[in-house]
Amino acid sequence: MGKAIARHIASIHCTNPRDFTTDKHHKVDDEPYGGGVGMLLKPEPIYHALSSIPHLPRREVILMTPQGQPLAQATLEILASHYDQLVIICGHYEGVDDRVLGWVDREISIGDFVLTCGEIPALALINGVIRLLPGTVGKEASLRSESFTSGLLDYPQYTRPAKFNGAKVPDVLLSGNHSQIARWRLEQQIERTRRRRPDLYELWQQRQIEEDELFSTINEGR
């Protein structure tokens, strides 16, 4: 990430809502109406902080929250390719005043768990987006073949030595037969996804069925 920023592939700017408060304690949180445990981020500091940020044409305002859409590789690809500016609001305490959602384009979650703040999820989002920008990753071909891009988990990978502590690299990877290697890798991806992530495997199967049906329809129309 540091190299990408140094090369001006991306830039990161931090805006502190406390700088937009009017009380002497710079308070950004308050008790929720109706009672309850914890504190909420107030709407005014967030509104004025957002208003202070220069507005680029292709902009997306994102709130990091456990209630948001689960972050997926497809979302990162959309954010990296369709927007020039991402404004990320990091939640704290019990969250934000619900009126803040009126200024948000997208709510994103990194999982079904709760953290003390939204900076850690924001860093995950930033990392995932910047690495997709042209010039960040040395071999861009690796981005096209990595996990989740095809809907499957990655295949097993090995490097030297060919044998270590009695464990050997599969013979097919040492064969030099690229078509057999490609076939083996796909088989491993399918089986690994089936065992470890049956939810992804089911989605992948459904996509294969839809693609086969589309292919059949095209051929019938010729």
Domain assignment of residue 145, yes or no: no
Question: What is the phi/psi pair of residue 209, to 5°?
Answer: -65, -45
List CB contacts of 52: < 8 A, sequence separation 6 or more. 15, 20
Domains identified in the chain, total number: 2
In a shared domain, residues 117 and 157? no
Reduce the DSSP state of residue 92 to 3 states and report it.
strand
Is residue 115 located within the same domain as residue 161?
no
What is the spatial distance between Cα 40 and Cα 155, in angstroms, rounded to a whole number? 44
Please report, for the domain that includes residue 112, its CATH number.
3.40.1280.10
What is the span of the domain harbouring residue 78? 2-130
What is the number of helices (H) and of strands (E) in the chain?
8, 7
Q: Is the bond preceding 161 in cis, omega lying within 30 degrees of 0?
A: yes
Residue 169 DSSP one-character state: -
Instruction: State the pLDDT at residue 142.
Output: 63
Residue that finishes a domain, picked among 130, 160, 190: 130
- Are residues 167 and 120 part of one domain? no
Same domain, 177 and 123: no
Environment class of 32 (CB within 10 Å of its CB; exposed 0-12, middle 13-18, buried 19+): middle
Domain match, 120 and 22 both: yes
Instruction: Let me know whether 110 and 159 are in one domain.
Output: no
pLDDT tens-digit readout, 197-210: 999 999 999 999 99
Distance CA 190, CA 199 (A): 12
Q: What is the DSSP letter of 222?
A: -
**Residue 143 falls within a domain, yes or no?**
no
Taking the C-alpha atoms of residue 41 and residue 20, their distance in angstroms, rounded to an integer, is 13
Which has more confidence, 56 or 93? 56
Same domain, 8 and 82: yes
Q: Among 130, 164, 198, give the residue marking a domain's end.
A: 130
- Looking at residue 147, its pLDDT comes to 60
Q: Say yes or no: 89 and 177 in one domain.
A: no
Confidence class of residue 71 from pLDDT cuts 50, 70 and 90? very high
Domain check: are 171 and 211 in the same one? yes
- Please give the sequence-ordered ranges of beta strands (E in DSSP) within the chain, or none if there are none: 29-30, 40-41, 59-70, 85-90, 106-109, 163-164, 167-168
Which residues lie below 8 Å from residue 173, measured CB to CB, with a gap of 6+?
A: 158, 181, 184
Averaged pLDDT for residues 127-134: 97
In this model, does residue 52 exceed pLDDT 60? Answer: yes
**135: in domain:** no
Same domain, 192 and 117: no
Specify if 14 maps to a domain.
Answer: yes
Average of per-residue pLDDT values in the chain: 93
pLDDT, tens digit, for every residue of 137-164? Answer: 976 656 665 667 788 999 999 999 999 9
186 and 88 inside one domain: no
Model pLDDT for residues 156-194, shown as the tens digit of each residue: 999 999 999 999 999 999 999 999 999 999 999 999 999
Q: Check whether residue 59 and residue 112 sit in a common domain.
A: yes
Amino acid at site 31:
E
Q: Per-residue pLDDT tens for 92-121?
A: 989 999 999 999 999 999 999 989 899 999
